[in-house]
Each structure stands twice: as structure tokens, then as C-alpha cells.
Amino acid sequence: MAETEAVTKEHFLHLQHSESVVASMAVTVFAGLIQKMTLTADNEDELVARSVAIAIKLANSAEKLIKSDQEWVKKDSSAAYLTG
């Protein structure tokens, strides 16, 4: 009965955009992991933690390699200003 209650209990989260992106990435990684490994009550927490760690590692790598518009646009200088 306790397991059923845990599944049906509502949870409300207030994630920042970057957190929701990483959570989405973690879900994708988790889905890949459970395609190759059997998901059990014993390994669920480990696989969730591993999925989140991989998602964070991917996000950090992307952040180092990709510059967003806000990171390179110089609004006070017309040389690099984007108009849109």
C-alpha cells in the first residue's frame, strides 16, 4: 500500500529552465540505461543518480563549447550587435 501511495502522491517542482533541460536530458539517459540494464528496486536510485550525473556532464561540456547570443553579443558596440 505504501508503494501505491508514493506513486500516486502529487509532487510540485519549480525548476529553472536550465534545470528542466538537464532533467530532460537525464530522462533520455535513464531510458537508454534501462534499455541495456534491468531496472530493479535495488539499482533504481543508482541508475537515476548516474543518469543525472551524465546529463550534468553533458550540459557542462556543451556550456564550455557553445556560446549563446547573450555571451557574445555586445549591445553597446554595433560591431557584434544582432538585430532581429
4 backbone dihedrals φ, ψ, rounded to 5°: -65, -40
* CA angle 11–60–53, rounded 5-degree value: 50
Residue range 36-53, pLDDT digits in tens: 999 999 999 999 999 999
Work out the number of other CB atoms within 10 angstroms of the CB of residue 70.
7
Residues 12-29 have pLDDT tens digits of 989 999 999 999 999 999
Whether the predicted model's global pTM rises above the 0.75 cut: no
Cell of 14: 519549480
Arithmetic mean of pLDDT, 73-78 = 60
Annotate 11-41 with b (16+ C-beta within 10 A) or e (fewer). eeeeeeeeeeebeebbeebbeebeeeeeeee
The residue type of 39 is L
